């Protein structure tokens, strides 16, 4: 439950629970690889413990240790932040002086502060301090707030733990003003390998292989520039994926990022690996450093059915005549999100004859994409608005000359209609040539895991 309003007048008592938190000391573990394919390897895993966190329960589908690769890899830079120690910026504090409040349903910052004797002025000062403290408007039951007061009962320092990986720290300065900072805690990353074979659908194959839904969706996005998952999938297609599972003190917290993935579609093999360059920019690339991204998505609607293809002569179901069909129709449920297939600027958004509600996007000087028969536009969509690839711009409908809900999608090059399913899409930039050695060094482990584990499981399956 979210609490948007800060109640400065409430006097409802709040239960204050005192508890001695565990110190934030690094914990070291040694794990020895038992796989025959990677024997006698010892890696030290370094983890950090948040002082107030206690797991409620283990996630039911956590991967058993025997099924994990028994060593950790560094998370991509986008997912971790260096540890900062609170003790560096404040004088020593007796842990018994802290008041630890567990947020309950209906609590607000004002109620909590009032219960421990802090003034409304202090509540206002904290709530309006900066962007960090806006999070107090949406405190959740079960979260923790730690309060430290001085001899005059004024707020000396406080910690708010919104989740397992972050702590917001606020402290009173020498000039009696307040300042804040966010402390981020690193999770232990264990790479996991999964593979599947498509018998009916991608999602059924993923479920059978015990691959989480968010991971299979991410994999589909990675290969989405080369494979149209609404059209190209074949029975017998195979895929493998190496991704991180993130743990805290042996308890799985969530799934991490895909490190490497492979998809064999109709006999053609596609492989992708994640790479972060020395500047901190991360993305997916092929083994030889070409970007997996293209300047355009192959399909602007995820996992829909093609009801009408690009054709020079097609029977029009509404006008009852033979006409050219200069785009592709994607049949989908009304309200299905429509994504911009590439970066660009909206040149038209409104009613356009048989298109009904339509959007035209100009991509540089050569390319134009058209989206017709919309049910509604996404918030903020208007002529002159810049959009990014994958951004939701509207929703599937049946406006204009349409017999049912679907998206009519066109791809034009220099004003000439091209078949969106077969047109060669321009590629995004490859790995910077000056980073080639860095790329090879930093992706070798991911690609090796994908190959070794895939070969091992393939042999064991016979």
226 pLDDT band, cuts 50/70/90, is confident
Q: Is 438 in a helix, a strand, or coil?
A: helix
| CA dist list (Å): 319 to 265, 308, 352, 373, 404 | 38, 15, 16, 16, 14
Residues 337-366, mean pLDDT to the nearest whole number: 92
Burial class, 82, CB count within 10 angstroms (exposed 0-12 / middle 13-18 / buried 19+): exposed
CA pair distance 299, 332, nearest whole angstrom: 13
Q: Is 75 helix (H, G, I), strand (E, B) or coil?
A: coil
Q: How far apart are CA 154 and CA 109, in angstroms?
A: 15
Confidence (pLDDT) at 259: 94
Q: Is the pLDDT of residue 373 over 90?
A: yes
Residues 272 and 294: their CA atoms lie apart, in Å, by: 13
Residue 361 pLDDT: 95
**399-447, pLDDT tens digit by residue?**
998 888 999 999 998 888 888 888 887 777 899 999 999 999 999 988 8
Q: CA 282 to CA 292: how far, in whole Å?
A: 12
Q: Which residues contact 453 (CB under 8 A, 6 or more apart)?
A: 69, 193, 240, 242
pTM of the model: 0.55
* pLDDT of 136: 82
Q: pLDDT tens digits, residue range 122-161?
A: 888 888 888 888 878 888 888 888 989 888 888 889 888 8
Q: Three-state SS for 417? A: strand
Residue in the block written with tokens 């490190």: 259
Q: Which of 4-18, 218-232, 282-296, 308-322 has the lowest mean pLDDT?
A: 4-18
Structural domains of the chain in order of their starting residue, each with its CATH number: 27-184 (3.10.450.350), 188-294+430-454 (3.10.450.350), 305-418 (2.70.70.10)
């Amino acid at each position: 439950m979210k609490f948007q309003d800060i109640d400065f007048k409430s006097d409802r008592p709040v239960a204050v629970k005192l508890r001695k938190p565990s110190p934030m000391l690094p914990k070291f573990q040694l794990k020895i690889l038992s796989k025959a394919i990677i024997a006698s390897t010892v890696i030290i895993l370094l983890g950090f413990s948040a002082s107030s966190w206690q797991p409620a329960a283990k996630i039911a589908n956590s991967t058993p240790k025997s099924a994990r690769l028994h060593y950790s890899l560094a998370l991509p830079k986008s997912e971790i932040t260096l540890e900062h120690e609170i003790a560096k910026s404040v004088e020593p504090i007796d842990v018994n002086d802290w008041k630890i409040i567990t947020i309950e349903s209906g609590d607000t910052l004002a109620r909590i502060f009032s219960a421990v004797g802090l003034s409304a002025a202090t509540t206002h000062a904290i709530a309006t301090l900066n962007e960090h403290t806006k999070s107090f408007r949406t405190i959740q039951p079960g979260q923790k707030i730690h309060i430290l007061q001085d001899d005059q009962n004024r707020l000396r320092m406080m910690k708010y733990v919104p989740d397992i990986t972050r702590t917001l720290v606020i402290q009173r300065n020498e000039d009696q003003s307040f300042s804040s900072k966010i402390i981020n805690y690193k999770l232990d990353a264990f790479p996991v390998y999964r593979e599947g074979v498509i018998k009916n659908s991608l999602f059924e194959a993923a479920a059978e292989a015990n691959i989480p839904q968010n991971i299979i969706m991410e994999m589909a996005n990675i290969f989405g520039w080369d494979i149209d998952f609404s059209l190209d999938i074949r029975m017998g297609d195979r895929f493998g994926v190496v991704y991180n599972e993130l743990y805290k003190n042996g308890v799985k917290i969530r799934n991490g990022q895909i490190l490497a993935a492979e998809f064999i579609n109709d006999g053609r093999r596609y492989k992708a690996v994640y790479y972060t360059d020395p500047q901190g920019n991360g993305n997916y690339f092929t083994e030889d450093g070409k970007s997996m991204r293209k300047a355009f998505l192959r399909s602007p609607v995820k996992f829909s059915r093609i009801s009408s293809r690009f054709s020079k002569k097609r029977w029009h179901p509404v006008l009852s005549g033979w006409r050219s069909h200069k785009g592709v129709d994607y049949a989908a449920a009304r309200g299905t999100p429509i994504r911009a297939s590439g970066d660009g600027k909206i040149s038209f958004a409104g009613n356009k004859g048989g298109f009904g509600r339509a959007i035209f996007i100009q991509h540089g000087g050569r390319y134009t994409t058209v989206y017709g028969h919309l049910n509604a536009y996404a918030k903020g969509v208007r002529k002159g608005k810049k959009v990014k690839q994958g951004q939701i711009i509207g929703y599937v409908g049946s406006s204009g000359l349409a017999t049912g809900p679907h998206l009519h999608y066109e791809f034009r090059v220099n004003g000439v209609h091209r078949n969106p399913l077969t047109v060669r899409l321009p590629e995004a930039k490859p790995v910077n040539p000056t980073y080639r050695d860095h790329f090879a060094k930093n992706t070798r482990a991911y690609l090796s895991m994908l190959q070794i584990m895939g070969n091992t499981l393939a042999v064991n399956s016979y």
